[in-house]
């Protein structure tokens, strides 16, 4: 992890100052903790920001295409919204490849085709649920394919409801919850008139 402020405050290995420290959350305001990793980009690459850039009015996880790379390390990007921006890669190192994104960061985006990785043995079981499935599948305008390690467990994993109950919501009986879990909610995409069809590969 790279955080010069924390390193200077907590100490460095071998200086005798390392140990248990209490850290006030207010102290860390405006501090970014991240792991530096080298990335190689080329013209035409899809990239995404991994931190917001308020001075350029760019949000975290916005995506773009690399249009040019200067000798001085400046990168010219064409944002998905159409804007053209130039980043100094030394001052703004929070850039990563944008070919694969999480379902959470894909909200509000659309692609012609989406490929979804759904690992039923995933350590954080709450990440694979009905909301993730809906968001991921509904990003594809024409096609969505799900790739999984266990076809038998996939339905149960994607049917996992993580909704929080409202203070005004009536309590559901167990049989109502079971009925709700197995009843299809609605068709995700209607058949296309131009000979294209919605596909879901398992």
DSSP codes joined into one string, 21-69: ----GGGGTT---B--------TT-EEEESS-BGGGTB-TT-EEEEEEE
- The pLDDT tens digits for 186-198 are 444 444 454 454 4
Q: How many residues comprise the chain?
A: 202
Lowest mean pLDDT among 96-105, 154-163, 173-182: 173-182
Looking at every residue in the chain, the average pLDDT score rounds to 76
Query: 66 with 47: CB under 8 angstroms?
Result: yes
Confidence of residue 126 (pLDDT cuts 50, 70, 90): confident
Q: Note the pLDDT of residue 5.
A: 46
Rounded alpha-carbon distances, angstroms, from residue 160 to 73, 89, 95, 171: 46, 41, 33, 18
Confidence of residue 184 (pLDDT cuts 50, 70, 90): very low
Query: 39 with 96: CB under 8 angstroms?
Result: yes
Query: 49 with 94: CB under 8 angstroms?
Result: yes
Domains of the chain, CATH where assigned: 46-97 (2.30.30), 111-201 (no CATH)
106 DSSP assignment: T
The phi and psi torsions of 68 (rounded to 5 degrees) equal -170, 155
- The pLDDT tens digits for 41-99 are 999 999 999 889 999 999 988 999 999 999 998 999 999 989 999 999 888 888 999 88
Q: Note the pLDDT of residue 159.
A: 84
């Amino acid at each position: 992890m790279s955080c010069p402020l924390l390193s200077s405050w907590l100490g460095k290995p071998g200086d005798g100052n390392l140990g248990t420290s209490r850290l006030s959350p207010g102290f860390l305001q405006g501090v970014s903790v991240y792991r530096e990793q080298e990335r190689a980009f080329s013209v035409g690459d899809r990239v995404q920001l991994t931190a917001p850039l308020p001075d350029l009015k760019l949000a975290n996880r916005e995506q773009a295409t690399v249009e040019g790379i200067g000798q001085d390390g400046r990168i010219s990007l064409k944002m998905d919204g159409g804007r053209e921006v130039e980043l100094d890669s030394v001052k703004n190192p929070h850039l990563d490849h944008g070919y694969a994104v999480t379902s959470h960061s894909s909200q509000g985006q659309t692609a012609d085709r989406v490929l979804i990785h759904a690992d039923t043995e995933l350590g954080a079981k709450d990440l694979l649920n009905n909301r993730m499935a809906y968001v991921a599948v509904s990003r594809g305008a024409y096609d969505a394919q799900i790739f999984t390690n266990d076809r038998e467990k996939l339905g149960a994993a994607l049917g996992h409801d993580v909704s929080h109950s409202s203070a005004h919501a009536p309590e559901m009986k167990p049989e109502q919850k079971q009925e709700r879990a197995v009843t299809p909610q609605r068709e995700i995409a209607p058949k296309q008139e131009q000979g294209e069809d919605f596909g879901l590969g398992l």
